[in-house]
Chain A
Amino acid sequence: MPVEISVRVNGKGFQHQIEPRLLLVHYLRDVLELTGTHVGCETSLCGACTVLLDGKAVKSCTMLAVQVSGSEITTIEGLAAQGPANGGGLHPVQEGFWEKHGLQCGFCTPGMILASVDLLHNNSSPSQDEIRHALSGNLCRCTGYQHIVEAVEYAAKKMKPRKRA
């Protein structure tokens, strides 16, 4: 029996009748056509499907869509608009990944970026060890992570409120 969910995704409200077993990642990808969230393992081990649920990073491949009814989701497609500069520019974390060559094939990147956003929300100037620890739930097979660490450092610096003299 389909059930109704009501959810805000990237600032827009949606209501849908869905199969109760529909995974959140498939709701985002197949129903809302937001294919920037990727499925890498279906077991919450790789982190490619990471999205923000009420601001916190979650793995959307092991959550049911019905669990998020009433919540606010941010996917990679909705991140740029939330950047401090706004005006359609990139989020500082996205910028960091571009500037520091934090991606190669790009498949893990949306999840990696959203996990980094969550980290910087909780810790505005993380050490390299803290970055590595915070991203331990997100696998990347291409980069060896070093450029990702630098990307997050870049974003942290950029996001820090500047002290006026």
Chain B
Amino acid sequence: MLPGGGATVWRAPAQEDSMAAATRYLGKPMKRKEDPRLIQGLSHYVDDIVLPNLLHAAILHSPYAHARIRSVDTLKAQSAPGVVLVLTGADIRGAIGPVPCAAVIPDMKAAPRPVLARDRVRFVGEGVAVVVASGSYAARDALDLIEVDYEPLTPVVDPEKAIANGATVLHEGHKDNVAYRWELEGGDVKAAFKNADKIVKQRMINQRLIPVAMEPRGVVADYKPGERQLTVWSSTQIPHLLRTQIAAMLATPEHSVRVITPEVGGGFGSKLNVYPEEALVAYLAMKLGKPVKWIESRRENFQTTIHGRDQINDVEVAVKRDGTILGLRLGIIADLGAYYQLLTPLIPTLTALMSSGCYKIPAIRIEIIGALTNKMATDAYRGAGRPEATYFIERALDLVAAELKKDPVEVRRKNFPKPNEFPYATPTGVIYDSANYDKSLDLALKISDYKKLRLDQAKARKEGRVVGIGLSTYVEICAMGPSSAMPAGGWESATVRIEPTGMVNIMTGSSPHGQGQETSFAQLGAEILGLEPNDVNVVHGDTAIVPYGIGTFGSRATAVGGTAVYKSLMKLREKVAAIAGHILAEDPSNLVFDKMRITSKADAKKSLAFGEAVGAAYVAKTLPPNMEPGLEATTFFEPSNFTFPFGAHVCVVEIDPETGDVRLTKYVAVDDCGNVLNPLLVEGQVQGGIAQAVGQALLEEAVYDEQGQLITGELMDYALPRAGDLPWLETARTVTPSPVNPMGVKGVGEAGTIGATPALANAVADALEPFGVRHVDMPFKRERIWQLMQKGNRRAK
């Protein structure tokens, strides 16, 4: 039951249990409302949408990383069976604008991507022509009949060579392949390095990854010429931003465009974007006056959906003998690929912002060079710049510990800001909202029995076994974010409408694609209005129904989107209380909403059904004077800051000395994402995030060869974690509410991915320490590890 008229749902509880005890639904592990349709095959992803007279599009992709297009001959394809239309880049010149980039960095060179290439292709997979046919097989068949005459150009693949003098330049009008240089400095870096007892240096590679959402992208577009209404179904995380961009790319009035995101089969940032096909398929539907569908194949997904990470980090840490960190210098070379997607140039700057980690580092200097190469663009992949930051700083802390012969735990504790130092401002210009880093670390050490792990490790080493223990204490920047710091607004919207029968519709600007907000927001609605979660329906992903929203990414759906929902619910509760108070002749602040009734705290006889008060709002005969009829409230919530979830992870790896195979044998994760609406969903996010981190550490690597061919272009060659690659994950949480929003939530979507990768890397480095290995780059594949062990063995002889 809620405190009547309170400003917050619950007050910062010391323990989560106390919060759950005070609520009926919030904080409870309710199973998901989404699931019945998903487990019975009754849901609709884009590819499940069928319209009358539906046509199918297929796209011809460049097999070259870098080439001039001399000519494209589509004649044979046009007369192939079932083919309706074939278009090339030249055919749509001027009709569709380039792929948009929302990121702005001073002095950044332009690198716009045309929807279909015209004179030149700049990565393998770039679209060259499109076929529309009566069936998907016919469309694909016709692709083989298009003849493109390419003149191969020198591919630029390595980012360091790309930015070196004399490299082939990708874009006309550029003098080199440096997209931008960006510097950030805070504190007296020179003095820090002058006063240091030791300077620890390391180059680290954060390899390119491929997001691989299980549902590839897909677009269906339908145009009704009479009504001049274009409807686009797309597997996206940002329906409204996409609508705006489609309108801009097609120079079509935005009010005639509707974007619907049906069920979305995973995104992880890869669908936080605007892709050529989204405008192209809409254009085709408008041109042909018939609905058109395009579904991405897995190979296309590998080649033409954004990639993640791909940074070279040169790290230097200035430390005192006692482990105190004085300063940090970081050089980032970020491989941006050939063109900018929506946020491409921005991602490395997030690395810079979070380079302080959860440590007091008084002086930091960062230099970023964005490199243009003949590859698919990198952009936001789960964590988006922050996993890179956590990775290098957590590896650096371990290198410092090794250098000073201290335990990694001790070095970390030495540099944590203490709970009373929050809000804590870093020299990179961000303000951490709240934290207790010692507390989450303590809990992780306790659950993992860290001391015993070290004893066991010593014993194992004596037996000739190769065992390593890894630790990571992380902080991430989430709930993106205040609009002042975001390229396209950082607020979120929600409209709540209580329908005349008392049923509630929540229209959220967030666009969940697996996170489960249909459940957690229903819990919120039920809690605040004293209803059952099944009385509350959550609508998302339809620009014709939902108020303009920003979308789901950056662990923002609950902290920003949920707060908008919360505020709209509170507005309506106030209105319903006023109506009920008027009918019952009771002070509205005395009324309590519970079990579908509104009852006076002072006099239990003063009570009426929730539905009765709602009905009164619509029948409008017994409203208080001057009150508008109806029950609908909209909020555009603008957060005052980001939130900064944190945690501590501990893991153990054992390496097979014969094969170099790294086996993860224990994993303990303690995460603090503030208050939680539904711990079951939080658990799911943490576990899934850790699995993706395990993928980066042990298995995944996007490899382009010297010619710019993506040789990890299929699931056969790009190894995703399978069920057997993971140990049992032990998870726990501490609860440090965020002061940034009234619910005290922080966000958890990326925590696992951010926190786990460095823990794994530290464990592997720790395991290889007896072999004289100081650092090894991910992924920790057998041959790499085996070779390091061989080298170590030879040295020992």
Please give the residue numbers on chain A whose beta carbons come within 8 Å of chain B beta carbons, in ascending order: 19, 21-22, 26, 29, 33-43, 45-46, 48, 75-77, 79-80, 90, 94, 97-99, 101, 103-110, 113, 128-129, 131-133, 135-136, 138-149
Interface contact A148-B35, CB-CB below 8 Å: no
Interface contact A144-B215, CB-CB below 8 Å: no
Q: In chain A, what residue has the closest Cβ to B519?
A: A101
Interface contact A142-B715, CB-CB below 8 Å: no
Q: Is B68 in contact with chain A by the CB < 8 A criterion?
A: no
Interface contact A98-B35, CB-CB below 8 Å: yes
Complex: A106 Cα to B264 Cα, angstroms: 9
Complex: A74 Cα to B295 Cα, angstroms: 25
Q: In chain B, what residue has the closest Cβ to A75?
A: B41
Complex: A42 Cα to B299 Cα, angstroms: 9
CB 8 Å contact bits of B19-35 with A (1 = contact, 0 = none): 00000000000011011
Complex: A135 Cα to B722 Cα, angstroms: 8
Q: Is B720 in contact with chain A by the CB < 8 A criterion?
A: yes
Contact pick for A132, options B41, B297, B691, B724, CB 8 Å? B724
Q: How far is the CB of A93 from chain B (nearest CB, A)?
A: 9
Interface contact B41-A36, CB-CB below 8 Å: yes
Q: How far is the CB of A37 from chain B (nearest CB, A)?
A: 7
Interface contact A146-B687, CB-CB below 8 Å: yes
Interface contact B216-A40, CB-CB below 8 Å: yes
Q: Is B422 in contact with chain A by the CB < 8 A criterion?
A: no
Which of B151-159, B249-257, B332-340, B509-517 participates in binding chain A?
Answer: B509-517
Q: In chain B, what residue has the closest Cβ to A148?
A: B723
Complex: A79 Cα to B39 Cα, angstroms: 10
Q: In chain B, what residue has the closest Cβ to A138?
A: B723
Please give the residue numbers on chain B whose beta carbons come within 8 Å of chain A beta carbons, in ascending order: 31-32, 34-36, 38-45, 47-48, 50, 136-137, 212-216, 263-266, 268, 295, 297-298, 513-516, 680-681, 683-684, 687-692, 714-716, 720-724, 726, 728-729, 752
Point out which of B35, B39, B213, B690 has the most chain A C-beta atoms below 10 A from its C-beta: B39
Complex: A103 Cα to B34 Cα, angstroms: 10
Given contacts A98-B31, A107-B214, A146-B687, contact A36 B40 (CB under 8 A): yes
Task: Enumerate chain A residues within 8 angstroms of B35, measured Cβ to Cβ.
Answer: 97-98, 103, 106
Pick 30 A–B contacts, CB within 8 A, sort by A: A21-B137, A22-B137, A29-B47, A35-B44, A36-B41, A38-B214, A45-B715, A46-B214, A76-B39, A79-B40, A97-B39, A98-B35, A98-B36, A99-B31, A104-B514, A104-B688, A106-B43, A107-B45, A109-B38, A129-B724, A136-B722, A139-B214, A141-B692, A142-B214, A142-B514, A143-B688, A144-B687, A144-B721, A146-B687, A149-B723
Task: Enumerate chain B residues within 8 angstroms of A135, measured Cβ to Cβ.
Answer: 722-723
Contact pick for A105, options B31, B50, B213, B714, CB 8 Å? B213
Given contacts A33-B50, A105-B215, A106-B38, contact A142 B688 (CB under 8 A): yes
Q: In chain A, what residue has the closest Cβ to B42?
A: A36
Interface contact A142-B40, CB-CB below 8 Å: no
Q: In chain A, what residue has the closest Cβ to B35?
A: A98
Q: In chain B, what residue has the closest Cβ to A131?
A: B723
Q: In chain B, what residue has the closest Cβ to A129?
A: B724
Complex: A76 Cα to B47 Cα, angstroms: 17
Q: In chain A, what residue has the closest Cβ to B212?
A: A141
Interface contact A40-B215, CB-CB below 8 Å: yes
Complex: A104 Cα to B715 Cα, angstroms: 21
Given contacts A34-B41, A40-B298, A101-B681, contact A45 B714 (CB under 8 A): yes
Complex: A45 Cα to B212 Cα, angstroms: 13
Given contacts A128-B728, A132-B723, A143-B684, contact A106 B298 (CB under 8 A): no
Q: How far is the CB of A117 from chain B (nearest CB, A)?
A: 12
Q: How far is the CB of A31 from chain B (nearest CB, A)?
A: 12
Task: Enumerate chain B residues within 8 angstroms of A22, measured Cβ to Cβ.
Answer: 137
Complex: A34 Cα to B690 Cα, angstroms: 34
Interface contact A144-B720, CB-CB below 8 Å: no
Complex: A35 Cα to B218 Cα, angstroms: 15
Q: Closest 3 interchain pairs by CB?
A: A36-B41, A107-B265, A105-B514
Q: How far is the CB of A57 from chain B (nearest CB, A)?
A: 14
Q: In chain A, what residue has the closest Cβ to B680?
A: A101
Given contacts A90-B36, A108-B214, 11 further A-B contacts (CB under 8 A): A36-B40, A40-B298, A45-B714, A97-B39, A101-B683, A104-B514, A106-B38, A133-B724, A141-B692, A142-B688, A145-B721
Complex: A69 Cα to B24 Cα, angstroms: 54
Given contacts A136-B724, A139-B720, A147-B684, contact A80 B40 (CB under 8 A): yes
Interface contact B720-A141, CB-CB below 8 Å: yes
Task: Enumerate chain A residues within 8 angstroms of B516, measured Cβ to Cβ.
Answer: 104
Q: In chain B, what residue has the closest Cβ to A111?
A: B214
Task: Enumerate chain A residues within 8 angstroms of B726, measured Cβ to Cβ.
Answer: 132, 144-146
Q: How far is the CB of B60 from chain A (nearest CB, A)?
A: 18
Complex: A22 Cα to B135 Cα, angstroms: 12
Contact pick for A77, options B41, B681, B688, CB 8 Å? B41
Task: Enumerate chain A residues within 8 angstroms of B137, measured Cβ to Cβ.
Answer: 19, 21-22
Interface contact B39-A113, CB-CB below 8 Å: yes
Q: How far is the CB of B158 from chain A (nearest CB, A)?
A: 29
Task: Enumerate chain A residues within 8 angstroms of B691, measured Cβ to Cβ.
Answer: 141, 143-145
Contact pick for B40, options A39, A77, A105, CB 8 Å? A77
Complex: A136 Cα to B720 Cα, angstroms: 11
Contact pick for B263, options A33, A106, A131, CB 8 Å? A106
Task: Enumerate chain B residues within 8 angstroms of A106, measured Cβ to Cβ.
Answer: 34-35, 38-39, 43, 263, 265, 514
Complex: A34 Cα to B648 Cα, angstroms: 45
Interface contact B39-A42, CB-CB below 8 Å: no
Interface contact A35-B214, CB-CB below 8 Å: no
Q: In chain B, what residue has the closest Cβ to A145?
A: B723
Complex: A146 Cα to B266 Cα, angstroms: 18
Complex: A98 Cα to B516 Cα, angstroms: 12
Complex: A26 Cα to B140 Cα, angstroms: 14
Q: How far is the CB of B255 from chain A (nearest CB, A)?
A: 31
Point out which of A21, A40, A105, A135 has the most chain B C-beta atoms below 10 A from its C-beta: A105
Task: Enumerate chain A residues within 8 angstroms of B728, measured Cβ to Cβ.
Answer: 128, 146
Complex: A78 Cα to B714 Cα, angstroms: 31
Contact pick for A142, options B39, B44, B266, B683, CB 8 Å? B266
Q: How far is the CB of B64 from chain A (nearest CB, A)?
A: 23
Q: How far is the CB of B702 from chain A (nearest CB, A)?
A: 15
Task: Enumerate chain A residues within 8 angstroms of B216, measured Cβ to Cβ.
Answer: 40
Interface contact A76-B40, CB-CB below 8 Å: yes
Interface contact A43-B298, CB-CB below 8 Å: yes
